[in-house]
């Protein structure tokens, strides 16, 4: 019996978790270790494909702000229908995150990573062929479904395959492509309007994403499955093969991969497998994480998507345009180009903000950045509200300074950190479900804002609307601090244990 126990102890000493192998530091011949584990080609390939998905999200969602005036005029859309069109893709994100995001816990990270892009390409191709309001709303909703699935799936496909010490900057680096997509979407909208100044220019805007999205879809078939997910499923042999494929490099290290198991007398580091239900997110073990991941994200989406989508509309009015002076198609195109240029300039601060978040997330920590970011957003919106008291250049300066500060602070803090934290605070067996629920709950705020923003702008005015968003930003900082869970540098296999 003693020999059996000794063999079990030896096996435990030799076998390790997936994350231990990913985090392993290479050692020189003299016994000294490198300061960090270099990324393999497969790890960079996975990261690049995940970043591409975030780019398409920003590209399509923020392009809607430029395309919306053309769509409204072509289909003779009413104010209520305009709200539906604005909210359709966000409603799809909500449904996709809730209904599809959690499926990666059952079918695998890779399968859902591929499925979401197939759905995206299909609805994008159908979108450019739409000829009425209903088909347009359905296609935008379908695009949102794909993007919603991407929220938890892309995060997990990165975080479960990269070293712990660089998880924050790499996840946020990929997430930063959403800001590049926002800039690219408004910039492409401006370019298309300049080259093709017709009412159907919005179709060409969306069409520009079809071929790149198809290429990304094909490439996703060639990545490896998450070994962390395979271990939780009890498929240890597959997990070892996946880990070896993930960590393939020259010279090769580790030389072999032997994972902890639940076979015989050897016990894996993870908790025993069990079938998790949706109610698991609200048990005593996970409730704090669920609140922390969901509520601040909901509060930040109220402002981020409202300001992001309707920045071109607000700028068009502030710069002397707007519906009152539009009497021809040329007026509409001129306003669209002017507003798109202004929105693109403001969106540059999204990129600056995410770059700072990438640099600071693993140093300053997620919590402080999120709290400071929320207060910065409140200040930016407050400055923008002062524009109501001015006319001419002073009004424009207040709007630009306020919105640019908001965009910088939201991507430094809550827009970036809520996404990062939602994929970290849950244990592996419910990580997809938890991150999906958090994204879906957040998108309730985005849908509310997108649908109600044009109505509230007309009924209560810009000042009251901005004041309301100031309050929600401050509330977001308070909730973040009250329910904080710091995950900076923590091994994913230990989170939630």
The average pLDDT across 144-171 equals 89
Residue with token string 């998450």:
226
What Rg, from alpha-carbon coordinates, does the chain have? 24
Answer yes or no: is 252 within a domain. no
- The pLDDT, as a whole number, for residue 317 is 58
Q: 231 burial class (0-12, 13-18, 19+ CB within 10 angstroms)?
A: buried
What is residue 148's three-state secondary structure? helix
**What are the residues facing 27 on neighbouring strands?**
33
Say if residue 220's pLDDT is above 90: yes
306 against 111, higher pLDDT: 111
Tokens of 421: 């934290």
Tokens of 30: 């003299």
Task: Give the CATH number for residue 442.
Answer: 1.20.1250.20
76 against 267, higher pLDDT: 76
**CB neighbours (10 Å) of residue 439?**
31
Answer yes or no: is 453 within a domain. yes
- The pLDDT, as a whole number, for residue 271 is 43
Do residues 296 and 415 touch, judged by C-beta distance below 8 A?
no
Do residues 89 and 61 touch, judged by C-beta distance below 8 A?
yes
Interatomic CA distance for residues 214 and 43, integer angstroms: 21
Do residues 347 and 327 touch, judged by C-beta distance below 8 A?
no
Which H/E stretch holds residue 5? helix 2-14
Do residues 159 and 175 touch, judged by C-beta distance below 8 A?
no
Answer yes or no: is 251 within a domain. no
Q: How far, in whole angstroms, is CA 270 from its chain's centroid? A: 27
Answer yes or no: is 259 within a domain. no
Say if residue 393's pLDDT is above 70: yes
Say if residue 435's pLDDT is above 70: yes
Say if residue 322's pLDDT is above 60: no
Q: Considering its fold, how many domains does the chain have in total?
A: 1
Say if residue 273's pLDDT is above 50: no
- The pLDDT, as a whole number, for residue 320 is 52
Answer yes or no: is 101 within a domain. yes
What is residue 259's three-state secondary structure? strand
**What are the residues facing 259 on neighbouring strands?**
16
Q: How far, in whole angstroms, is CA 187 from its chain's centroid? A: 20
Q: Phi and psi (nearest 5°) for 343?
A: -65, -40
321 against 181, higher pLDDT: 181
**CB neighbours (10 Å) of residue 338?**
18
Answer yes or no: is 26 within a domain. no
The average pLDDT across 290-299 equals 95
Answer yes or no: is 21 within a domain. no
Do residues 89 and 141 touch, judged by C-beta distance below 8 A?
yes
What is residue 130's three-state secondary structure? coil
Q: How far, in whole angstroms, is CA 288 from its chain's centroid? A: 21
Least confident of 140-154, 241-255, 278-292: 241-255
Do residues 105 and 430 touch, judged by C-beta distance below 8 A?
yes
Looking at every residue in the chain, the average pLDDT score rounds to 81
Q: Phi and psi (nearest 5°) for 447?
A: -65, -45
- Domain residues for the domain of 366 are 41-227+278-494
Do residues 396 and 318 touch, judged by C-beta distance below 8 A?
yes
Answer yes or no: is 261 within a domain. no
pLDDT digits (tens, 9 = 90+) for 30-79: 666 667 778 899 999 999 999 999 999 888 877 877 788 888 888 888 87
Interatomic CA distance for residues 20 and 267, integer angstroms: 15
- The pLDDT, as a whole number, for residue 403 is 83
């Amino acid at each position: 019996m003693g020999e059996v126990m000794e063999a079990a102890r030896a096996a435990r000493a030799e076998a390790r978790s997936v994350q231990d192998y990913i985090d392993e530091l290479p050692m020189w011949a003299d016994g000294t270790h490198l300061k960090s584990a270099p990324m393999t080609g497969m790890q960079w390939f996975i990261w690049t494909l995940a970043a591409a998905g975030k780019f398409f999200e920003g590209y399509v969602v923020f392009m809607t702000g430029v395309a919306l005036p053309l769509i409204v005029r072509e289909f003779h859309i009413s104010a209520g229908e305009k709200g539906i069109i604005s909210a359709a893709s966000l409603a799809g994100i909500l449904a996709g995150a809730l209904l599809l995001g959690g499926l990666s816990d059952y079918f695998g990270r890779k399968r859902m990573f591929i499925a979401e892009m197939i759905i995206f390409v299909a609805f994008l191709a159908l979108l450019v062929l739409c000829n009425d309001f209903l088909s347009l709303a359905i296609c935008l909703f379908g695009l949102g479904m794909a993007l919603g699935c991407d929220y938890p799936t892309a995060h997990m496909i990165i975080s479960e395959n990269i070293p712990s010490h660089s998880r924050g900057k790499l996840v946020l680096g990929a997430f930063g492509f959403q800001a590049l997509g926002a800039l690219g979407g408004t910039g492409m909208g401006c370019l298309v309007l300049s080259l093709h100044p017709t009412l159907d220019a919005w179709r060409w805007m969306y069409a520009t994403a079809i071929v790149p999205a198809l290429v990304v879809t094909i490439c996703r078939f060639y990545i490896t499955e998450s070994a962390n997910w395979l271990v939780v499923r009890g498929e240890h042999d597959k997990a070892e093969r996946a880990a070896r494929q993930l960590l393939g490099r020259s010279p090769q290290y580790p030389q072999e991969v032997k994972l902890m198991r639940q076979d015989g007398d050897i016990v894996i580091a993870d908790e025993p497998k069990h079938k998790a239900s949706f109610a698991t997110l609200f048990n005593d073990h996970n409730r704090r994480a669920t609140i922390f991941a969901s509520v601040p994200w909901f509060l930040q989406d109220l402002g981020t998507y409202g300001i992001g989508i309707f920045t071109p509309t607000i700028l068009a009015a502030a710069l002397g345009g707007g519906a009152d002076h539009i009497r021809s198609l040329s007026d509409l195109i001129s306003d669209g180009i002017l507003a798109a240029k202004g929105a693109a300039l403001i969106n540059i601060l999204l990129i600056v903000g995410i770059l700072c978040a990438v640099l600071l997330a693993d140093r300053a920590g997620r919590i402080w950045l999120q709290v400071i970011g929320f207060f910065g957003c409140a200040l930016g919106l407050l400055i923008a509200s002062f524009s109501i008291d001015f006319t001419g250049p002073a009004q424009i300066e207040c709007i630009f300074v306020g919105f640019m500060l908001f965009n910088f602070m939201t991507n430094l803090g809550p827009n970036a950190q809520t996404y990062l934290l939602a994929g970290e605070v849950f244990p592996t067996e419910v990580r997809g479900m938890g991150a999906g629920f958090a994204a879906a709950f957040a998108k309730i705020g985005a849908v509310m804002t997108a649908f109600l923003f044009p109505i509230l702008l007309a009924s209560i005015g810009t000042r009251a609307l901005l004041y309301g968003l100031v309050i929600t930003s401050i509330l977001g900082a308070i909730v973040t601090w009250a329910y904080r869970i710091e995950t900076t540098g923590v091994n994913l296999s230990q989170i939630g244990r």
